[in-house]
């Protein structure tokens, strides 16, 4: 047989084999109506046991709610909560199959929450569990809770989003404009803990009671409200960010309050926007909207001793003032810029003192020392936590007021 017929025969056999394989369909297909999509999960430790609480997205397009007077329903998450405990998180995952009529699908997980006891024990176990799973992405967000994370997942409500995962995704997008809030992802945490200092910061997610607007009673309905009168407002437990936790290696060692969290964020270039409420004459305030912020962290050697440096430059616009100052005058602008710098310096100093007390270099001085003086770093690396506590740090903040809105002078009644 010549070469050409043999080639045609081989091609025909190969094509027939390919068609036979493809005709069988996709061997690893997953029907969407057989999947349970995980939105977020909480990892806790209770009495030596692991507790895993999962929020699955409920497929129904109409989420129900508890009936109130007038027939209107309270907002309820479009989700199913499943919580189990066992000796390992993997065992809990397999246990869920006994009560979940669909296969758990983890690729769309928005966030993982770590409870306080689990965080003090160490988050290495949680990070290892989520990173080994091929479905969970490293872009999944990570948060911390005071007390059990399960409480937040179970009790959180929202009138805007259909599940807690979406709520957290929205916070991640918009909370940064305040400067007080940020949410890292799994990859960020791995990067921080693998760095020279082996530290990281996780934001705290907590329950926040908010009033739910009352409704008009149509006809002297349940609750005893006369016709046309509004009933009593009810309370929703919404989720919000408030402060952060400091981690040394993989363990929670200290807390930062809201202002200290922003102090850390100034230095680590996490502030996408912020409002500074600054005191002025007669106990009144003036508000400045920070539009740009840039910081640098470094280490110098002076007289054989290490010296840390923090330099921050911010620019902002005047939004509101209660002091009736004339900002067309240079002295008023300089005074406001000085107060801007003072408040930012105070927030950074407070955060720095908290980090030094805990021995957690979350400001990046260890990395700066390693880059500039690698020989010195090799000598101090093993005891850097203690050296950081003694490191003197100078903070320099340069603040600029760029605009004062549509007017520079305050409006006065009767003025023309």
Which strand (E) or helix (H) includes residue 202? strand 199-212
Residue 263 forms part of a structural domain: yes
> Is residue 167 one of the residues assigned to a domain?
yes
In a domain, 99, yes or no: yes
Residue 67 — very low, low, confident or very high, per pLDDT cuts 50/70/90? very low
Residues 325 and 293 in one domain: yes
Regarding whether 337 and 188 lie in a shared domain, the answer is no
- Say what the pLDDT of residue 231 is: 67
Split into its structural domains, the chain has a count of 2
Over the chain, what is the mean pLDDT? 86
For position 222, what pLDDT does the model report?
47
Same-domain check for residues 213 and 325: no
Say if residues 276 and 195 touch (Cβ distance below 8 Å).
Answer: no
Contact 53, 83 (CB under 8 A): yes
List pLDDT tens digits, range 82-129: 999 998 888 888 877 778 888 888 899 999 999 999 999 999 999 999
pTM: 0.85
Residue ending a domain, among 204, 227, 256, is 256
Provide the β-strand partners of residue 51.
44, 85
97 and 126 within one domain: yes
**Whole-number Å distance between alpha carbons of 321 and 277:** 9
Token code pair at residue 149: 């994370």
The 10s digit of each residue's pLDDT in 29-59 is: 667 778 889 999 999 999 889 999 999 998 8
- Predicted local distance difference test score (pLDDT) of residue 177: 87
Q: Which domain holds residue 164?
A: 33-61+75-256
Confirm whether 164 is domain-assigned: yes
Q: Which of 256, 284, 304 is the C-terminal boundary of a domain?
A: 256
pLDDT at 247 over 50: yes
* Nearest partner of 242 among 186, 182, 190, 294, judged by Cα: 182
From 231, 256, 281, the end of a domain falls on 256
- Evaluate whether residue 70 is within a structural domain: no
- 309 and 209, same domain (yes or no): no
- State residue 227's pLDDT score: 55
Same domain, 273 and 199: no
What angle, 0 to 180 degrees and rounded to 10, lies between the N-to-C axes of helices 186-193 and 124-132?
130
**223 plus 280 within the same structural domain:** no
Residue 121 resides in a domain: yes
Answer yes or no: is 415 within a domain. Answer: no
pLDDT digits (tens, 9 = 90+) for 143-185: 999 999 999 999 998 778 889 999 999 999 988 888 898 999 9
- The domain spanning residue 326 has which CATH number? 3.30.300.210
């Amino acid at each position: 047989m010549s070469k050409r017929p043999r080639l045609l025969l081989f091609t025909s056999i190969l094509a027939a084999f390919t068609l036979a394989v493809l005709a069988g369909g996709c061997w690893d297909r997953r029907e969407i109506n057989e999947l349970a999509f995980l939105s977020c999960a909480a990892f806790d430790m209770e009495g030596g046991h692991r507790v895993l609480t999962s929020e699955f997205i409920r497929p129904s397009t109409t989420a129900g709610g508890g009936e109130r007077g007038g027939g209107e329903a309270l907002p309820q998450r479009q989700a199913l909560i499943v919580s189990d405990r066992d000796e390992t998180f993997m065992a809990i995952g397999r246990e869920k199959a006994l009560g979940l009529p669909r296969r758990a699908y983890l690729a769309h997980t928005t966030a993982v929450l770590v409870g306080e006891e689990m965080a003090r024990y160490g988050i290495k176990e949680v990070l290892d569990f989520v990173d080994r799973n091929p479905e969970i992405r490293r872009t999944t967000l990570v948060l911390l809770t005071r007390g059990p994370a399960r409480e937040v997942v179970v009790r959180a409500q929202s009138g805007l989003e259909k599940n807690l995962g979406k709520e957290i995704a929205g916070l991640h997008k918009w909370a940064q404009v305040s400067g007080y809030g940020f949410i890292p992802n799994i990859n960020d945490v791995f990067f921080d803990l693998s760095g020279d200092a082996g530290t990281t910061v996780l934001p705290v997610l907590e329950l926040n009671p908010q009033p739910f607007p009352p409704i008009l009673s149509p006809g002297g309905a349940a609750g005893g409200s006369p016709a046309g009168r509004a009933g009593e407002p009810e309370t929703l437990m919404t989720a919000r960010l408030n402060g952060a936790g400091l981690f040394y290696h993989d363990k929670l060692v200290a807390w930062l309050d809201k202002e200290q969290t922003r102090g850390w964020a100034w230095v680590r270039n996490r502030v996408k926007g912020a409002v500074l409420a600054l005191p002025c004459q007669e106990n009144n305030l003036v508000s400045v909207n920070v539009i740009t912020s840039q910081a640098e962290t470094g280490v110098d050697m002076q007289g054989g001793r290490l010296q840390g440096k923090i330099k921050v430059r911010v620019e902002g616009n005047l939004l509101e003032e209660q002091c009736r100052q004339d900002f067309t005058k240079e002295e008023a602008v300089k005074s406001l810029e000085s107060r801007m710098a003072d408040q930012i310096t105070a927030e950074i100093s407070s955060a720095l003192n908290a980090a030094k007390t805990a021995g957690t270099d979350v400001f990046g001085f260890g990395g700066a020392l390693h880059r500039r003086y690698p020989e010195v770093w090799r000598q101090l690396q093993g005891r850097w936590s203690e050296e950081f506590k003694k490191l003197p740090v100078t903070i320099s903040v340069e603040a600029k007021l760029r605009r004062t809105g549509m007017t520079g002078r305050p409006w006065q009644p009767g003025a023309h």
